[in-house]
Amino acid sequence: MTTNKKSDPRERILEAANHLFYTEGVHATGTEKIMSISGVAKATFYRHFESKDALVLAYLDLRDRLFWDYVLSPAPPEDIYEAVVRIERLVNQPEITGCPFLLIASEFPDTAHPFHGVAIKHKNKFHNFLAELLKAYPGDNNAAAARILGVIDGALSARMMYGTSKAISLLASAEAVVKGASDGTEDNSH
């Protein structure tokens, strides 16, 4: 990972943290390593981030913005299928090795922890986005959205397990969820 020494120090710190937190985890990444990679002094680090926790929250905010920028650009998807195709493309990018929000939740399993809370907030927003796209179809759009989100999270977990050795397919599973919700064959017992 290379950083431009002339760029904004805050951005360099966040860039280093983004890479390290995603690939090595928050617990395994010390602020000294982030400072070293970003090429900033301790005083500069703490001028921009009052603590490692503040940096983790900025990292999660960055990941959330990057995700939504990707999903909603160049224009929001017109339907659930277009959204799932975009997510499938994202999941299969070589640098994607899992979901940063699931990784955070696994490192900080206490649901009352602020980092875990941010992960929940992101997943709830994603669920609501999918449910809104599913309003065009008959059936329980919230249940269908939860199932599609589960398929996506499962794909991201497969990515963590197998790396880039397997392409992840989401569209067929999403279509089956929508069809099951629409024709009433969806199992609602779970």
Q: At what angle do helices 9-24 and 31-38 cross, to 10 degrees?
A: 130
Percent of residues, the chain, with pLDDT higher than 70: 93
Q: Tokens 């360099």 label which residue?
A: 12
Is the N-terminal amide bond of 74 cis, ω within 30° of 0? Answer: yes
The fold adopted by the segment(s) 60-183 is Tetracycline Repressor; domain 2 (1.10.357)
- Residue 138: pLDDT above 80? yes
Q: What is the pLDDT of residue 2?
A: 47
**Model confidence over 2-17: pLDDT tens digits?**
444 568 999 999 999 9
- Residue 35: pLDDT above 90? yes
**Distance in angstroms (rounded) separating the CA atoms of residues 104 and 61:** 12
* SS3 state at 165: helix
- Residue 183: pLDDT above 80? no
Q: What is the pLDDT of residue 3?
A: 44
Tokens of 44: 């500069």
Q: Tokens 């999941």 label which residue?
A: 91
Residue 153 CA: distances (Å) to CA of 2, 40, 104, 123: 30, 35, 13, 10
Q: Which CATH number fits domain 1-50: 3.40.50.620, 3.40.50.2000, 1.10.10.60, 1.20.140.160?
A: 1.10.10.60
Boundaries of every domain in the chain:
1-50, 60-183
Radius of gyration of the chain (CA): 19
> What is the average pLDDT value for the chain, to the nearest integer?
91
Q: How many helices and strands in the chain, by DSSP H and E?
A: 9, 0
Q: Judge if pTM exceeds 0.85.
A: yes
- Collect all residues with Cβ–Cβ distance below 8 Å to 177 and sequence separation of at least 6: 144, 147, 148, 151, 186
- Residue 190: pLDDT above 60? no
